[in-house]
A and B are shown apart, each in its own frame.
Chain A
Amino acid sequence: DQQVKQNSPSLSVQEGRISILNCDYTNSMFDYFLWYKKYPAEGPTFLISISSIKDKNEDGRFTVFLNKSAKHLSLHIVPSQPGDSAVYFCAARGWGSQGNLIFGKGTKLSVKP
């Protein structure tokens, strides 16, 4: 059973507009949530994280929002740039499993010029 779900396999956005990537989780014991970006033929790179005690974290053009009651988080990219085109993975850190990360299946973002 998937504990971290990214229900949109792909998203297409116009350059300059906002990109919103969504992620749902089922385990209320996760204590950190993370977003990774992955380009083809490269390893995933860490983008931004949020503690479960926060509801927002911002880093430049990237903001992550956490809604614990809905078990939902989202990554906002404003403004979107063509270089943001990549696969984005949502991940959650578990409490009891040595703090290992559990990943969603990813959302492919395409930012069109």
Chain B
Amino acid sequence: DAGITQSPRHKVTETGTPVTLRCHQTENHRYMYWYRQDPGHGLRLIHYSYGVKDTDKGEVSDGYSVSRSKTEDFLLTLESATSSQTSVYFCAIRGASDTEAFFGQGTRLTVV
């Protein structure tokens, strides 16, 4: 168990509403990531953070924003949810070896 908690685990929301997903880690690791998983696309990086208030865009960042005000929390916000953002979202942290990433259990988001 890598000490990563994602909340909520499931959410259904309406198109156009804002949504925030939370990732909490107990490992005090510097790097945190948000990925989305979709059929036929594998895992794609949305945003990542390399420290408090230090974030950068990934491969599929359009329509998403992130914030990291504390080492342990990394928030992903959909400012105005669209149906194309229906997906399973995974948070990850980079391990102590600085190589592998460890993933949370995921959040299944449905935008109707």
Contact = CB atoms under 8 A, between A and B. Distances in A.
A46 B100 CA distance: 7
B74 interface: no
Contact of B106 (A36, A42, A93, A104): A42
B107 to A, nearest CB: 10
Contacts of A102: 45
A49 B103 contact: no
A93 B33 CA distance: 14
Interface residues of B, number: 27
B55 to A, nearest CB: 11
B90 A49 contact: no
Contact of B42 (A34, A41, A103): A103
B99 interface: yes
A104 B105 CA distance: 19
Given A49-B99, A98-B48, A43 B106 contact: yes
A32 interface: yes
A100 B45 contact: yes
B4 to A, nearest CB: 8
A104 B42 contact: yes
Contact of A89 (B31, B33, B42, B94): B42
Contacts of A93: 99
Nearest to A104: B42
Nearest to B43: A103
List the 9 closest pairs (A to B, CB-CB), nearest first.
Answer: A43-B103, A105-B42, A103-B43, A46-B100, A103-B42, A44-B103, A43-B105, A106-B42, A32-B99
